Chain A
Amino acid sequence: MLKNRVKELRARYGFTQSDLGKQVDVTRQTIAFIEKGEFSPSITLALKLAKALQTNVDELFWLEGDERDEK
């Protein structure tokens, strides 16, 4: 399962799900699905999210069980 820090970083920058969704051209619901881990985004969307949240894709997403999981 893909884990992520989208919610954490979004909160850090003070974005709502709608704000972030607008920046990466998806609906608020899609951001919510990603945050809840219901849905794994495409590489394109992952790159857009990383850019919007000023981080790298591998800092934003990682596989469950990886060392990053211990964050």
Chain B
Amino acid sequence: MSVLQAVPPRRTCNEIPARAGVGLKAPHYRRILETQPDVGFFEVHAENYMGAGGPPHRYLTEIRACYPLSLHGVGLSIGADHPLDRDHLRRLAALIGRYEPGLFSEHLAWSSHGGQFFNDLLPVPYTLKTLQRVCEHIDQVQESLGRQMLIENPSTYVAFAESTYWEVDFIAEISRRTGCGLLLDVNNVYVACTNQHWEAVRYIDEFPMAHVRQIHLAGHATDADAHGRALLIDSHDRLIDGIVWDLYAQAIGKLGPTPTLIEWDQNLPDWGELHAEAQRAELILSGDRQNEETVRAAAG
């Protein structure tokens, strides 16, 4: 019998537990299926599973049978002025119907313009006009998918002179107006705060935690702007920075246990290193600061 016809016997529950999960990457498919590692959930980029068939769907189906799944979109362009791509919404709806993810999230960003897709998360000015447009788009997504979506705070490298809201207030207002949930990306908080000269501790302190349903953690690269000021790049290509772990502990202190994803998209490590990051997050989630300090000391 073909492997393609192997139907998983049953599916684990849809709900994402308040544990650490890991971004699912193709080089780790087999290892995960063979060893069934103890992680809370997996997350995939929706667009990577928009092919008609083939190995990505086969592996995801098998892994979904054993783990809860969250779905993270990177191409909906919620922050664009132009209308949402209805074909893309239909593709998302089909994927959600097929894999029944516990959470679906997208970004406060735009990535398409004039029929072209830039494959990057581009910043929006924080104005009333942008707020209205973003909220219209979120309403449309939640209505057409028939479920709540989460919006993620962005990493940014420039600010817009015309912005009239602080980012945290802007995001809080989006959630208040649309009822969407929030995805707090703690690495993005640190990257944006460094680049924009905001206080990261204050950002976490003022973030509307009542609406946060998930957390992302990732690594970043360090650069400098034209004046030699620190410029952090949201690169997802290395271990999570110590300061980001501190901010994460601060956020968990306010939120309580919350599903937390380790994102690593470039320069992939082997599974063990990725899993170790998830285990470190679980120490913080479970309030085991003593062991976390030990891990921290070992990590330098």
Same assembly: no
Identify the B interface with A (CB < 8 A): none
